[in-house]
Amino acid sequence: MADYTQNLDQPVRNALTANHENERKLTFLERLYLPEIFKGLAYTFKTMFKPDVTMRYPEERWDPPAIFRGRPVLVKDNGKERCVACGLCARACPPLAISMQASETEDEKERYPEFFEINMLRCIYCGFCEEVCPEEAIVMSKDYDLVFHSRADAIYDKERLLMPKEDLKDRLDFLKDYRNKQFGKFWNYKEDNNIHSVRNRDENWDTGLSLVDILEAKKDSVQN
Ligand code: SF4
Ligand code: SF4
């Protein structure tokens, strides 16, 4: 039976590393190291005059393009959240990061989230919440530097999630373009259609028309 005990006073060379036959032999100059050091310094000196490819974060900040998916935020439209607390985003969220409680409101949208929270420790920035939201009420922002001091700190409530739609213009424009390209043939997505309630269209609530009929009537009036 092999003896695996080690003699630490006289360590045996590892047989796997003792064979150096494939190792390149260094020339005399290389063995001096100085020429290689000067070559390295010359390269550093040359690079000093090339344009910077890095930023001095956080003094300099990167402004991501509209396609970038930063932390999800709730869209604030005319001082209120667009969200109607339908729960689709929470349902679609793979790591179950979203929780909310729906409640009724006198506003035309009829429902609103009494509380709305995203656990940013769970969020994987997949954008599924944005994808499924029927109201464009949750979108991916350009915010990428999140810092928490505790686990509780990482749970963003409505106050911290709400962002005015004017600050999200890039992303909302991008979504409009992207969705039109994706669904335009059979959906014809328009921000105009992104309504909260039939009452938005049927202001007097007395036409008795269905939503589709109201939209058709509006289309006809625009054409005529
Ligand atoms: S981006 Fe993805 S993980 Fe984050 S809240 Fe939305 S659905 Fe959940
Ligand atoms: S999918 Fe949109 S409207 Fe529905 S609960 Fe989520 S954010 Fe609100």
Which of 134-138, 151-155, 184-188 has the weakest average pLDDT?
184-188
Where do we find the tokens 């260094």? 26
**CB of residue 84 inside a 6 A radius of ligand 2:** yes
* Cα 75 to middle of ligand 1, angstroms: 15
What is the structure's pLDDT at 134?
Answer: 86
- What would the pLDDT profile of 23-43 be if each residue is shown by its tens digit? 788 888 888 999 999 999 999
Task: Map out the domains of the chain as residue ranges.
Answer: 72-183, 194-223
pTM: 0.68
CATH code assigned to 72-183 = 3.30.70.3270
Q: Where are the beta strands (DSSP E) in the chain?
A: 72-77, 80-81, 98-104, 111-119, 138-140, 155-156, 162-164
d(CA 126, CA 135): 18
Q: How far from the centroid of its chain's Cα atoms is residue 172's Cα?
A: 14
Contact (CB, 8 A) for 76 and 160: no
- What would the pLDDT profile of 113-135 be if each residue is shown by its tens digit? 999 999 999 999 999 999 999 88
